[in-house]
Structure formats: structure tokens, C-alpha cells
A and B are shown apart, each in its own frame.
Chain A
Amino acid sequence: MRPIKLFQSSGFRIAFTFTLVFLLAASIAGATAFSIIGEELVKRHERVLASDYETLRSTFLAGGLTDLSEAVAAHAAASRNHESVYLLLDPGSAKIAGNIDAAPSVSTPQMVPAKELGLNADFGYFIQRGVVGGNALVVGSSAEDISELQEIFVEGSLWAFVVLIAISLSGAVFLSHRMNRRIEVIQNTLESVADGKFDAQIPATGGGDDIDRLSEIINSTVSRLGTSVESVRQISNDISHDLKTPLNRLRIIMEEAFEKQAAGEPVAGEIEEAIGEISRIIGTFDALLRIAQIESGARKARFADVDLATILENIAEFYSTLVEDEGMKLEVQIERPLIVHGDRELLSQLFANLIENALRHCPGGSVITCSLASKDSLAVASVCDNGPGIPENERDNVLRRLYRLETSRTTPGSGLGLSMVNAIADLHHATLSLEDNKPGLCVTSRFPLVGLKDL
């Protein structure tokens, strides 16, 4: 058994792909949340700045530059650690009041690095700058909260990602192991099938998942394959066995002819006997080929809607004279018309084989009954007799090719008649059953009916 590598396992691949997709989705969601929160914080800063700026400007409008400079100084003093920054410059750009010494000139409120304000910090400041009575007024607030938020967010996300990857990877490994175990079971089973053990079956886990369904299909395929391999083996055995007997007889006939000829006696009788023997062998081959061809299903292309009643009636009429000559009686009970989808020739042969079978195995005085009726949208066709019948434990066997009951070894026939009936019934999706007619045999075939359209 070749071990399955982790990355080649479909379970792992699925889990791994899923992890990647999940991480991508989480990143997009995080980034969106992050940008929305960031924007909200910026807006808040802007609002605070605008209101600070307005407060200071109104002091100027009320009390002039002196009040403004005092207010700026008071605000600046109230601000610890440069949380907020203030600067008032006179028209000559000299500092009047404030807790910073310089400020870039910006036309709209925006973020500037701390360095530009002469401060030493690794975060930026939102500043707003305006002109009040010819003097430049700058207010600003630290964006440290935004930076902190960024840091927390990044760090949190990183940890979350690490945990997520760890969990999904171990999940993937677990899944792939579980899957691999089941696949290994399937592999092992199929390898034993390849070794000819057609009874090997994949045990079901009972979960009913896709692998279980696949296993069920494999199981039924293997068992059907086993059946057909077994039947092919059986057939070749039967054929070789069945042909050995007439070939051996043929050999004996020829040897006898040889001796007779050496003794100067006529050999015409032996030759005729040999030809008869050969004809029987050929007949067996022809029937086998015909069965194989019927089973191949190629004949289906020529199917048409045919009236089973007419077919059975014609065959019954065809055999009526022979049945009478054999001292038997043929009874026909036909309901009509019963249309089935099929092949007239093959269906005729089906009934012919059944009647010939009855003729061959029944003693004089027997009654053969051909009946046809519709029941539950099926055409039920029976050929019954009151002859010796077939023991129940032999009924499946007689459908096998070349199988003959011990009791009928000596009667003529190839042992293929019922196999052909079975093959023809199969081709027509008909079910064939052999029943006890008490006494006698009743062979019933049930054909799916075509709707009685156009009639």
C-alpha cells in the first residue's frame, strides 16, 4: 500500500483551501471594520478641533487679542503631555502664546507629523489653522488614540490569525487522516478485487455520506462483476464439458468407419451419423452465439411496438399440428390486443422454445396451455403444461446455459432453450418465473405494456 502524502490528500487540500479562503474573508472584514472605526475617530477629532477653534476665536471677538492670548495660554497650560496643542502667532509670525513653537500652514484641518510641530512623538496631530484679527491661530490634538487603536488592532488580528491557522491546520490534518483511512480501506478492497476476490466488500460506516454512497456503488459493481465473471467461467466450463461428449462420440464414429472401411464394408451409415453429430455441435454453437448476441442488447435498436397476442397466437397455431400429432392438446386463452415494445422474431422464438420444451418433456395426453392477459399494466404470458415439471431446487439452474436435468439427459435438446428464453425476456425487461403447475411446469413472463394508444 502506498501511503498518501499529506498534501496529496483531498481532505487536507479541502481543509487547507478552506482555511485560506476563511483567512482572506477575515482580513477583508477586519480591514473594513478598521477603516470605518478610523474614519469615525478622525471625524471626532475634527469636531473637537472645530469647537476648540471656535471657542478661542469667540474670545477674540469678545475681548480682543489680550483675551485671546490669555485663553490660548490657559488652554495650553491645561493640556497635559501635549494632548492638545495651541499656538498664537502675531502677523510677523512671532509666538504670542501656546505650548508649541511652530506649525505648518495648512488650509484645511489635517494630520501632520509631530516633528513639524517641534514635538518628539511617534504619532501625528490633527491641526486646524486660521487667521484671527491678522494673527495666526493654530489648534491641534494628538492622534495617539488612533495609533494605539491601530497597534491593538494589528496585534489582535495577528494573534487571531495565528490561532485560526493553527486550529484549521490541525483540523485539516485530522480530516485528511480520517479520509485517508477510509480511502485506504477502499484501496485495499479494490486491490483484493483485482486479485480475484470478488466477495470483498467495503464496510459501511453508516453515516450515509458521499464516501458511503461511493462505497455502496463500488460494492454493488464488484458484486455484479463477480457474478458475471463467475457466469463466464461457468459457461466456458459448461461449453467445454458439453462439447467434449459429442466430439468424443464423433471420434468413435470415425474410428468405427475407418475399421469398417479397412474391412471393405460400406461406411455411409457412419458418415451420416457423423454429419448429424456435427450438426448438433454447430447447433449448440449457433444457439450460444445467438444468446450472447441477444444479451449484448444490439438487437434493441430494431424494437417496435408489437402485439404480443398476435405473436403468441401465430406461434400456437404454428405448433398446433405438431402438438396434435404428438397426442397432446394445445389450449389457447388470449386477451387482445396487448402491445409491448419488442422484437417480433425474438418474441416468437421465446414462445416457440417454451412450447418445444413442453413438447419434448411431456408424455402423450398432456395439455399445453398458452395464455396471455393483462394485469397491473403488465402483459402476463404463460406457457404451462401438466407434464413432469421441474423440481423447485432446479428451477434457477435450468435457466443456465447447457444445464439439463439428470432426468432429461437422454431426451434431445441442447439445454439452451430456456437460457435463450431468459435472455430474450431480459432484453424486453420482462421478468421470467418458473412455477409449479401442480402437476407440471408453468413458465410465465411479465412484459411491461405499452399504452393502448392508436387502437
Chain B
Amino acid sequence: MRILLIEDDQKTADYILRGFRENGNVCDHIENGHDALFQASRENYDVIIADRMLPGLDGLSVIKALRSTGKKTPVIFLTSISGVDDRVEGLEAGGDDYLVKPFAFSELAARVSALARRPVMQQEKTVLKVHDLELDLIRRRASRAGKEIELQPKEFLLLETLMRNEGRVLTRTMLLERVWDYHFDPQTSVVETHISRLRAKIDKPFEVPLLHTIRSTGYSIHAPD
């Protein structure tokens, strides 16, 4: 994956770059807004990670300008501005996702990988399949090994979100945003309880577990190796 990181804080940048490079990604790093705009519009990246506060041109303006040139590279904003409105501003400027500093690298990695393959995800599939688990989006039906599974509407949406991102990690906050459209941070393990309900229906009665907990990061659904 080719990633452009626009970040002026050296310490943060090193941390992010090391993380992505260790996972075999190619990362370019730019420290100011003007150079970043030039670089981003000239090259084709899979994902752009942009800090909002930058010397020269701020991150919001860089992405606005980039979008006006027609570039559709997915952008995730990274910022210490954690206000309730700033997320909306970021998305309105053309950002695709938003992550507040300080963050865990695993959270950023999960979001970046979700963004990078979004176009594939958006292909119209009417039946999602993971191993012997099937989700029929038209008939709103779930089944595993031919056995029908009763799901509540939110459970269905949760499973659909996980299956659309098969093999990728979705963090607690990503699930909160995508399934429930909540952007605040519950202080309780409420997401975990929904996962365990889902797990009880799709995994418990069967031999092979598909829904995996990735420690201190999130959840992932995938077929056994």
C-alpha cells in the first residue's frame, strides 16, 4: 500500500511511519501543507493521512484543494482537535475518516486499511460469504452451513459490516460509527456485549469460530487459515 503522511510533529510521524513500514507499506512523509498538496496531486496514493494543524496551509485546506482538482484518494484526518464539530468539518472538507490524537496505532492501521480498499467494498454484492457463513442482503437472511440464523436488525447490520470487511480488523469505535452512527465514546463494554450476542448466534453452535477478537484492537471476521 502507498501511503502519504502529512504530519509536522516528528515524533508522531516516526511512530506512524515505523508502524506502516514494518507491515510492508510504502510511506512518504511531508511536513507542510504546500508541499503536501503538490505531492498528493502529483502522485497516486492508496491513502492519505493528514494532520489538521500544519505549518503553511492547514490540513483542511490541503484536502479541499486536492478534492477540487478531482483527486479521489481516500483521506483520513488525524488531529488533536477533538471537538464535536471538527469531525463534521473534516468530512465536509472531503475527508473520508477522522481520528483524534492521541490514538493507538492499531486504530489508525485498521482505519487506513478499511479506507484503502473501500472501492472494492462498494461493489454491489447481494450475498456476502465467509467460509460457510452466508448473508443474503436482499432477503435479509443469515445462514451458516445451511442452517438459518435469526438476527435482530442491528445484529444483521453488525454482521454485514464485519463481513464486508472480511479479514480486516474493525475497532470498537469503527463499529460504533458504522453500525450505530454514534461518535461518542461509551465508558462501558456495550459494543463487546453486542459482539458476544452475535458470536453466540453465528459461532457458538458451530465448530469453527469465524468472529475473532483482536486483543486491545477490535474484531475481525475471517475463515479459518
Interchain residue pairs with CB less than 8 A apart (24)? A282-B102, A283-B185, A283-B187, A289-B82, A289-B83, A290-B82, A290-B84, A293-B83, A294-B84, A298-B85, A317-B154, A321-B194, A321-B197, A324-B193, A345-B182, A345-B184, A346-B84, A348-B182, A348-B184, A349-B182, A352-B184, A356-B187, A360-B188, A412-B187
CB-contacts of B81-130 with A (<8 A) = 82-85, 88, 100, 102
A318 at the interface (CB under 8 A from B): yes
A413 at the interface (CB under 8 A from B): yes
In the assembled complex, the CB of A419 is this many whole angstroms from the nearest CB of chain B, namely 14
Q: A413 touching B187 by the CB < 8 A rule?
A: yes
Q: B183 touching A345 by the CB < 8 A rule?
A: yes
Q: B187 touching A286 by the CB < 8 A rule?
A: no
In the assembled complex, the CB of A278 is this many whole angstroms from the nearest CB of chain B, namely 8
C-alpha gap A325/B187 in the complex (Å):
16
Q: A302 touching B190 by the CB < 8 A rule?
A: no
C-alpha gap A42/B193 in the complex (Å):
113
A283 contacts which chain B residues (CB < 8 A)? 185, 187
C-alpha gap A283/B197 in the complex (Å):
28
With both beta carbons as reference points, the residue of chain B lying nearest to A296 in the complex is identified as B83
In the assembled complex, the CB of B123 is this many whole angstroms from the nearest CB of chain A, namely 29
Q: A417 touching B82 by the CB < 8 A rule?
A: no
CB-contacts of B179-225 with A (<8 A) = 180, 182-190, 193-194, 196-197
Known contacts A321-B194, A356-B186; A286 and B88 CB within 8 A of each other: no
Q: B84 touching A322 by the CB < 8 A rule?
A: no
Q: A293-B84, A325-B193, A413-B187 are in contact. List 20 more A-B contacts (CB 8 A).
A: A283-B185, A286-B82, A290-B83, A293-B83, A299-B85, A302-B88, A314-B180, A319-B190, A321-B190, A321-B194, A322-B189, A324-B193, A345-B84, A345-B182, A345-B184, A348-B182, A348-B184, A352-B184, A352-B186, A412-B187
C-alpha gap A290/B85 in the complex (Å):
10
Mark B148-168 against chain A: 1 for CB-CB distance below 8 A, else 0.
Answer: 000000100000000000000
B187 contacts which chain A residues (CB < 8 A)? 283, 356, 360, 412-414, 417
A359 at the interface (CB under 8 A from B): yes
With both beta carbons as reference points, the residue of chain A lying nearest to B88 in the complex is identified as A302
B196 contacts which chain A residues (CB < 8 A)? 325
A278 contacts which chain B residues (CB < 8 A)? 102
In the assembled complex, the CB of A403 is this many whole angstroms from the nearest CB of chain B, namely 16
With both beta carbons as reference points, the residue of chain A lying nearest to B195 in the complex is identified as A321
C-alpha gap A92/B193 in the complex (Å):
141
A414 contacts which chain B residues (CB < 8 A)? 187
B85 contacts which chain A residues (CB < 8 A)? 293, 298-299, 302
Mark A347-390 against chain B: 1 for CB-CB distance below 8 A, else 0.
Answer: 01100100010011000000000000000000000000000000
In the assembled complex, the CB of A295 is this many whole angstroms from the nearest CB of chain B, namely 11
Mark A310-339 against chain B: 1 for CB-CB distance below 8 A, else 0.
Answer: 000010011101101100000000000000
Q: How many residues of A contact B (CB 8 A)?
A: 31
B193 contacts which chain A residues (CB < 8 A)? 321-322, 324-325
In the assembled complex, the CB of B101 is this many whole angstroms from the nearest CB of chain A, namely 9
B189 contacts which chain A residues (CB < 8 A)? 322
In the assembled complex, the CB of A452 is this many whole angstroms from the nearest CB of chain B, namely 25
Q: How many residues of B contact A (CB 8 A)?
A: 22
In the assembled complex, the CB of B50 is this many whole angstroms from the nearest CB of chain A, namely 21
With both beta carbons as reference points, the residue of chain A lying nearest to B188 in the complex is identified as A356
Q: A286 touching B100 by the CB < 8 A rule?
A: yes
B82 contacts which chain A residues (CB < 8 A)? 286, 289-290
CB-based closest 3 A-B pairs: A321-B193, A322-B193, A349-B184
**Interface core residue of A314, A352, A414 (most chain B CB under 10 Å):** A352
C-alpha gap A356/B194 in the complex (Å):
16
With both beta carbons as reference points, the residue of chain A lying nearest to B100 in the complex is identified as A286
C-alpha gap A242/B182 in the complex (Å):
28
Mark A396-420 against chain B: 1 for CB-CB distance below 8 A, else 0.
Answer: 0000000000000000111001000
Known contacts A302-B88, A345-B183; A322 and B188 CB within 8 A of each other: yes
**Interface core residue of A278, A293, A324 (most chain B CB under 10 Å):** A293
C-alpha gap A414/B84 in the complex (Å):
19
C-alpha gap A414/B184 in the complex (Å):
15
B197 contacts which chain A residues (CB < 8 A)? 321
**Interface core residue of B154, B183, B184, B186 (most chain A CB under 10 Å):** B184
A356 contacts which chain B residues (CB < 8 A)? 186-188
A417 contacts which chain B residues (CB < 8 A)? 187
C-alpha gap A317/B153 in the complex (Å):
11
**Interface core residue of B88, B180, B186, B190 (most chain A CB under 10 Å):** B190
B83 contacts which chain A residues (CB < 8 A)? 289-290, 293
A324 contacts which chain B residues (CB < 8 A)? 193
Known contacts A283-B185, A289-B82, A299-B84; A318 and B190 CB within 8 A of each other: yes
In the assembled complex, the CB of B150 is this many whole angstroms from the nearest CB of chain A, namely 15
In the assembled complex, the CB of B99 is this many whole angstroms from the nearest CB of chain A, namely 13
In the assembled complex, the CB of A429 is this many whole angstroms from the nearest CB of chain B, namely 18
In the assembled complex, the CB of B157 is this many whole angstroms from the nearest CB of chain A, namely 12
C-alpha gap A70/B190 in the complex (Å):
136
A290 contacts which chain B residues (CB < 8 A)? 82-84
A348 contacts which chain B residues (CB < 8 A)? 182, 184
B194 contacts which chain A residues (CB < 8 A)? 321
C-alpha gap A314/B188 in the complex (Å):
17
In the assembled complex, the CB of B66 is this many whole angstroms from the nearest CB of chain A, namely 25
Known contacts A286-B82, A290-B82, A302-B88; A318 and B180 CB within 8 A of each other: yes
A289 contacts which chain B residues (CB < 8 A)? 82-83
A413 contacts which chain B residues (CB < 8 A)? 187
Mark A196-211 against chain B: 1 for CB-CB distance below 8 A, else 0.
Answer: 0000000000000000
With both beta carbons as reference points, the residue of chain B lying nearest to A324 in the complex is identified as B193
With both beta carbons as reference points, the residue of chain A lying nearest to B86 in the complex is identified as A293
C-alpha gap A414/B188 in the complex (Å):
12
With both beta carbons as reference points, the residue of chain B lying nearest to A293 in the complex is identified as B83
Mark B25-55 against chain A: 1 for CB-CB distance below 8 A, else 0.
Answer: 0000000000000000000000000000000
